[in-house]
């Protein structure tokens, strides 16, 4: 499934510091679940002792649907929703071989003359 938003668009909406912090949440397993049913991206993100219902409504304008203070009091695109979006983007990427992985050599049989 292709997610109709890019990391660059997330950074334009939330700022690069939020994207950087969101990567850390994603990379440390704090995104517990994520789903995308257009136009809604939903997720659950653990931060400290709280789990936030994070999400974004994707469309011509980006709307934050997170249950955190920054979202509902200030209307900001928060780290929780960005982390959920980044996790979904990561799931949508084709699998890459582990770095350093080498394909086994192929052998060819040559005729003897």
Residue-level pLDDT, tens digit, the chain, 113 residues: 688 899 999 999 999 999 999 999 999 999 999 999 999 999 999 999 999 999 999 988 899 999 999 899 998 999 999 999 999 999 987 765 555 554 444 444 445 54
* Gap between the terminal Cα atoms of the chain: 53
Query: Does some domain include residue 65?
Result: yes
Identify the helix (H) or strand (E) that includes residue 86. helix 79-92
Query: Does some domain include residue 70?
Result: yes
Query: Does some domain include residue 37?
Result: yes
Query: Does some domain include residue 11?
Result: yes
Query: Does some domain include residue 100?
Result: no
Domain that holds residue 13: 7-92
Query: Does some domain include residue 76?
Result: yes
Query: Does some domain include residue 2?
Result: no
Query: Does some domain include residue 102?
Result: no
Q: Into how many domains does the chain fold?
A: 1
Q: Which residues pair with 13 in a beta bridge?
A: none
């Amino acid at each position: 499934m292709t997610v109709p938003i890019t990391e660059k668009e997330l950074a334009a909406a939330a700022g690069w510091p939020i994207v950087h912090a969101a990567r850390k949440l994603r990379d440390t397993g704090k995104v517990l679940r994520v789903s995308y049913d257009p136009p809604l991206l939903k997720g659950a993100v653990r931060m400290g002792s709280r789990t936030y219902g994070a999400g974004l409504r994707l469309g011509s304008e980006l709307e934050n649907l997170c249950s955190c203070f920054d979202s509902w009091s200030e209307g900001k695109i928060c780290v929780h929703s960005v982390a959920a979006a980044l996790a979904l983007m990561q799931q949508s990427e084709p699998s890459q071989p582990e770095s350093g992985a080498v394909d086994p050599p192929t052998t060819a049989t040559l005729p003897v003359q």
